[in-house]
């Protein structure tokens, strides 16, 4: 919801939740007046170059570089078999192709992320949101400190040895926890070095066969699956067919 419209939402009965930094509709209220602020399903996001059928939101403790307070950061861990869409210089038709990824890899420097996937990270780390980088003059999805709101550099988190997602010791994942992403993961971004001991992270592979396989499109477009609660709300509002 835009900041300038907060008074309108409050007048209708919405309430502010400081711990999650968001507005919510109390139980029992009519949702129709709030319809314009409900998140829309992405009809398709072009240019996505990463996709994976098995992905985890991994949370980890981290010390903020600015205030030196403890905070929690998150990253998307893609399982072996993920795919990357690339266009090679020697590609005869210049159309590019999907290639299979080897090993476990963290996705980072994420420029584009379907809302249904982003929501699953925000559930675990509410300060995960888009930020603008002065260095690259572009916006990307980044972790922020829960105390001072400073953005935490993806370089420090995912590429620097000793960072929360690049441990120096073989199977040292103190305080880490993994949560299986619902649906197919898709994003526009990069991926880091192979994580040899990823299955040592608590939660990885746990319940990985609990649901049916999810088909992935042959071209780099997003098809967010969304949470069941979101689909329910949209049915209430007449925004989605009854299924």
**Confidence class for position 150, pLDDT limits 50, 70, 90:** very high
Task: Give the pLDDT of residue 39.
Answer: 56
Please state, in angstroms and rounded to a whole number, the distance separating the CA atoms of residues 222 and 45. Answer: 5
Pair of tokens at residue 78? 């893609």
Task: Give the pLDDT of residue 124.
Answer: 93
Read off the pLDDT of residues 84-111 as tens digits, 9 standing for 90 and up.
987 665 555 656 788 888 899 999 999 8
3-class secondary structure, 34: helix
Task: Give the pLDDT of residue 45.
Answer: 55
Q: Is the per-residue pLDDT at 240 higher than 70?
A: no
- Average pLDDT, stretch 44-53? 79
Nearest to 140 by CA among 112, 182, 168, 117: 112
Task: Give the pLDDT of residue 88.
Answer: 61
Edge to edge, what strands does the sheet with 97-100 contain? 97-100, 83-86, 50-52, 185-191, 105-112, 70-78, 55-63, 177-180
Residue with the bigger pLDDT between 199 and 206: it is: 199
Please state, in angstroms and rounded to a whole number, the distance separating the CA atoms of residues 171 and 111. Answer: 30
Read off the pLDDT of residues 184-201 as tens digits, 9 standing for 90 and up.
999 999 999 999 899 999
Task: Give the pLDDT of residue 149.
Answer: 93
The average confidence (pLDDT) of the chain is 79
Task: Give the pLDDT of residue 176.
Answer: 96
Q: Is the per-residue pLDDT at 236 higher than 80?
A: no
Residue with the bigger pLDDT between 221 and 113: it is: 113
For residues 72 and 62, the answer to whether their CB atoms sit within 8 Å is yes
């Amino acid at each position: 919801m835009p900041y300038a419209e907060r008074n309108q939402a409050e007048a209708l009965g919405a309430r502010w939740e400081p711990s999650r930094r968001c507005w919510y509709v109390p139980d029992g209220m009519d949702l129709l007046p709030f319809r314009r602020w409900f998140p829309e399903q992405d009809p398709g996001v072009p240019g996505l170059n990463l996709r994976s059928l098995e992905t985890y939101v991994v949370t980890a403790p981290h010390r903020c570089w600015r205030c030196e307070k403890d905070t929690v950061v998150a990253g998307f861990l893609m399982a072996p078999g993920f795919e990357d869409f690339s266009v090679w210089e020697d590609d005869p038709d210049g159309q590019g192709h999907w290639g299979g990824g080897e090993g476990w890899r963290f996705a980072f420097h994420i420029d584009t992320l379907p809302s249904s996937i982003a929501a699953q990270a925000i559930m675990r780390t509410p300060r995960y949101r888009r930020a603008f980088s002065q260095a690259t003059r572009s916006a990307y999805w980044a972790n922020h400190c829960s105390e001072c709101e400073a953005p935490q550099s993806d370089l420090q988190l995912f590429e620097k040895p000793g960072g929360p997602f690049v441990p120096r010791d073989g199977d040292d994942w103190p305080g880490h926890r993994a949560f299986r992403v619902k649906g197919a993961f898709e994003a526009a971004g990069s991926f880091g070095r192979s994580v040899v001991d990823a299955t040592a992270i608590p939660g990885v592979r746990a319940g990985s066969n609990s649901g049916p396989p999810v088909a992935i499109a042959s071209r780099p477009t997003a098809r967010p699956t969304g949470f069941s609660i979101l689909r329910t709300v949209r049915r209430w509002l007449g925004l989605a067919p009854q299924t």
